[in-house]
A = this chain, B = another copy of it.
């Protein structure tokens, strides 16, 4: 029992929409802290993005009572709570699977470093890439060594950016290596075993949804 929270339950049915928003709140709190703001109300926070204040309070209420009535939330305090809830109170070790253009760009993406993620390795099949490293110095290993390395390097999260044909087999390797969470940029459907979390970003789908908007003549928001 770390803090005196009246918790709903360990993590009873928190939707992904909620956890995504927690991330966004945290980013905002970082800025607020930087700006020297001490407390913030759900109302003021909601205005930053276009969100409803009750939504924010509900999101937070899943994890405890962090606010003070009549005052709002203490920025520093809430930030710490959110970091803990999101598991960002420890360094998370990330491996990028696939050292192509996109993989290398992701490995060097500065945004990841900022919130405690550490990109420790890339993996690829191409002999000429293995032994090389990315611009920012992330070493590229043979994907066949993934299992060995993932354990040795204690990889928490995999970021997968490989061609669609390779995606399932690379995912299976990552799972066999004990990686429990994967952010996937490869297109197409992928099967995962229970107990492993896959989050997919599908660039083609995203672009096509914009195309749809344009094709429909862009009515509404």
Contact = CB atoms under 8 A, between A and B. Distances in A.
Interface string A196-207: 110101111111
A85 interface: yes
Contacts of A151: none
Determine how many copies of this chain the complex contains.
2
Contacts of A23: 202, 204-205, 208-209
Contacts of A26: 208
Contacts of A106: 102, 105, 203
Interface in A7-53: 10-11, 14, 16, 19-20, 22-24, 26-27, 48-49
Interface residues of A, number: 68
Contact of A10 (B94, B109, B213, B217): B217
Interface stretch (A110-118, A124-132, A168-176): A110-118
Interface stretch (A73-81, A142-150, A182-190): A182-190
Contacts of A94: 207
A157 interface: yes
A10 B213 CA distance: 12
A5 to B, nearest CB: 14
Interface of A: 10-11, 14, 16, 19-20, 22-24, 26-27, 48-49, 84-88, 92, 94, 101-102, 104-106, 108-109, 111-112, 114-115, 117, 135, 156-157, 159, 180-183, 187-189, 194-197, 199, 201-219, 221
29 contacts: A14-B216, A19-B208, A19-B209, A20-B205, A22-B208, A22-B212, A23-B209, A24-B205, A85-B215, A86-B212, A87-B212, A87-B214, A101-B135, A102-B109, A105-B106, A114-B204, A115-B208, A156-B211, A180-B213, A181-B214, A182-B210, A183-B207, A194-B221, A197-B214, A197-B221, A199-B206, A199-B209, A201-B201, A201-B203
